[in-house]
């Protein structure tokens, strides 16, 4: 907060989702309407929740990404004085409002354009949406730099690295070690994984998250996206980014230095720690999250990831090494395959097979010169993936 009674202005893109609702919880615990002004909230299909949130926090603007739901949102907010908008232009309008801090928590590539709009006007962006960096990488970072924006990582692994990366000692960093829970299929054979349904795959052992990221955790595509995200966010080489399976999800990630020291950030698996850190940065706030009880925990386990059962990790490495638009290709194909898996049109293992085939088909796409090239690569990947699914 700039001074005594001045309220901070915030916007939450994706307020009705898992990260969005946790963000509102943190905001309310840190003072709610007394301390914060909500410039805009956005959602997609959950109109009742969006309207309830907007009324509760006194938002100035509420936006549904779904143009067909505009009337429903307008009715739900009638008499409140809260402005209503819909569709892509509504999301951009929300992101462009003069809020100093923006939570980017729309799921998937749909979050790219609005987050970019917030970056271009120089907001502090609490970045949960990893797809911005996976798909648009250096172009997204360039927009952040040119706009004078700041990225505050919310993904728990990247938030952990952000907390333990000593900015004066970047030259001494040898490796970034991303921890992975291994998901619900950590010990399952390929044959067992072949027949799982979306309902089984969404049951994450440690974290409570949205549907898509939960299934991505089961296939380890979430870790694949996080590897690419870490590469762009922290600027290290692909071979400096390691993954270790750590089933308890207590160590959220680590940085290894040239003197042999490894710095880690630990905590109970609760996204409100990372969200609160990004909201309060550079200070720390008191948050009502569970505290670690080391005696109860007793042990921390680690194992190497098995890339033969989880090929997503190998595909991430391939996308990082190839550079260019291969992150956008991987993500576009993955999102299409994931939708098909959720609708039971393809099996669990087919997701990685489809992504690999799309990456093969688009291996020669030139690097993106503009954001339009990124969107075009994403679209091509989706079309090819859809063809393979059909």
Q: Closest Cα partner for 43 from 84, 96, 98, 8?
A: 84
**Residues within window 156-215 making contact with ligand NDP, judged by CB under 6 A:** 207, 209-213
Give the one residue of 20, 183, 184, 267 binding ligand NDP; rule: CB under 6 A: 20
Segment contacting ligand NDP by CB under 6 A, of 94-102, 125-133, 277-285, 369-377: 125-133
Distance of CA 15 to the CA centre of its chain: 13
Q: How many residues make contact with ligand NDP (CB under 6 A)? A: 28
Based on the shown chain and the rule CB under 6 A, indicate whether residue 18 belongs to the binding site for ligand NDP: yes
Cis, peptide link before residue 282, omega less than 30° from 0: yes
- Output the six-digit token pair for 361: 């088909």
Q: Closest Cα partner for 274 from 136, 103, 140, 134?
A: 103
> Which CB, 50 or 173, lies closer to ligand NDP?
50
Based on the shown chain and the rule CB under 6 A, indicate whether residue 106 belongs to the binding site for ligand NDP: yes
Q: How far is the CB of 313 from ligand NDP (least distance, A)?
A: 17
Based on the shown chain and the rule CB under 6 A, indicate whether residue 309 belongs to the binding site for ligand NDP: no
The b-or-e profile of 203-238 (16+ CB within 10 A means b, else e) is ebebbebbbbbbbbbbbbbbbbbbbbbbbbbbebeb
**Residues within window 255-274 making contact with ligand NDP, judged by CB under 6 A:** 271
Q: Using a CB cutoff of 8 Å and minimum separation of 24, what contacts does 193-199 make?
A: 193/309, 193/348, 193/349, 194/347, 194/348, 194/349, 195/347, 195/348, 196/348, 197/344, 198/341, 198/342, 198/344
Helix (H) or strand (E) holding 227: helix 221-234
Based on the shown chain and the rule CB under 6 A, indicate whether residue 115 belongs to the binding site for ligand NDP: no
- Output the six-digit token pair for 160: 């952990």
Based on the shown chain and the rule CB under 6 A, indicate whether residue 19 belongs to the binding site for ligand NDP: yes
Q: How far is the CB of 104 from ligand NDP (least distance, A)?
A: 8
Give the one residue of 93, 155, 335, 373 binding ligand NDP; rule: CB under 6 A: 155
> Would you give the binding string for ligand NDP spanning residues 21-50, x where CB under 6 A is met?
----------------------xxxx----
Residue at shortest CB range from ligand NDP = 17
Q: Concatenated DSSP letters for 26-65?
A: HHHHTTGGGTEEEEEEEESS-HHHHHHHHHHHT-SEEEES
Based on the shown chain and the rule CB under 6 A, indicate whether residue 70 belongs to the binding site for ligand NDP: no
Helix (H) or strand (E) holding 217: helix 211-219
Segment contacting ligand NDP by CB under 6 A, of 13-21, 76-84, 275-283, 305-313: 13-21
Q: How far is the CB of 14 from ligand NDP (least distance, A)?
A: 3
Distance linking the first and last C-alpha atoms of the chain: 53
Give the one residue of 40, 110, 161, 352 binding ligand NDP; rule: CB under 6 A: 110
Segment contacting ligand NDP by CB under 6 A, of 78-86, 99-107, 290-298, 340-348: 99-107
Site for ligand NDP, rule CB under 6 A? 14-20, 43-46, 65, 105-107, 110, 128-131, 155, 207, 209-213, 271
């Amino acid at each position: 907060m700039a001074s005594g009674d001045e309220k901070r202005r915030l916007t939450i893109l994706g307020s009705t989702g898992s990260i969005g609702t946790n963000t509102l919880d943190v905001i309310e615990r840190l003072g709610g309407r007394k301390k914060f002004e909500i410039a805009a909230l956005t959602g997609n299909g959950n109109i009742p929740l969006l309207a309830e949130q907007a009324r509760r926090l006194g938002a100035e603007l509420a936006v549904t990404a779904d143009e067909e739901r505009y009337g429903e949102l307008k009715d739900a907010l009638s008499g409140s004085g809260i402005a209503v908008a819909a569709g892509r232009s509504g999301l951009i309008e929300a992101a462009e409002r003069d809020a100093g801090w923006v939570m980017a928590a729309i799921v998937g590539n749909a979050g790219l354009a609005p987050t970019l709009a917030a970056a271009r006007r120089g907001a502090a962006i609490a970045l949960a949406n990893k797809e911005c960096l996976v798909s648009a990488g250096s172009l997204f970072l360039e927009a952040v730099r040119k706009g004078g924006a700041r990225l505050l990582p919310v993904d728990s692994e990247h938030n952990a690295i952000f907390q333990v990366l000593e900015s004066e000692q970047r030259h001494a960093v040898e490796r970034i070690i991303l921890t992975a829970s291994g998901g619900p299929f950590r010990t399952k054979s390929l044959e067992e994984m072949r027949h799982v349904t979306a309902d089984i795959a969404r049951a994450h052992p440690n974290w409570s998250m949205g549907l898509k990221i939960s299934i991505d955790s089961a296939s380890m595509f979430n870790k694949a996206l996080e590897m690419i995200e870490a590469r762009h966010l922290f600027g290290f080489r692909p071979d400096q980014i390691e993954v270790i399976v750590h089933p308890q999800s207590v160590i959220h990630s680590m940085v290894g230095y040239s003197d042999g020291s490894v710095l880690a950030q630990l905590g109970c698996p609760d996204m409100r720690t990372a969200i609160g850190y990004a909201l309060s940065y550079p200070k720390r706030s008191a948050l009502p999250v569970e505290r670690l009880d080391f005696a109860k925990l007793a042990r921390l386990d680690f194992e190497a990831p098995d890339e033969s059962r989880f090929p997503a990790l190998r595909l991430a490495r391939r996308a990082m090494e190839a550079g260019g638009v291969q992150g956008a290709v991987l993500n576009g194909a993955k999102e299409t395959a994931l939708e098909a898996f959720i609708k039971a049109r393809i099996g669990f293992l087919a997701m990685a097979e489809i992504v690999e085939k799309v990456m093969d088909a688009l291996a020669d796409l030139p690097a993106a010169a503009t954001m339009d090239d990124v969107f075009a690569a994403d679209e091509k990947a989706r079309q090819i993936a859809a063809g393979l699914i059909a």
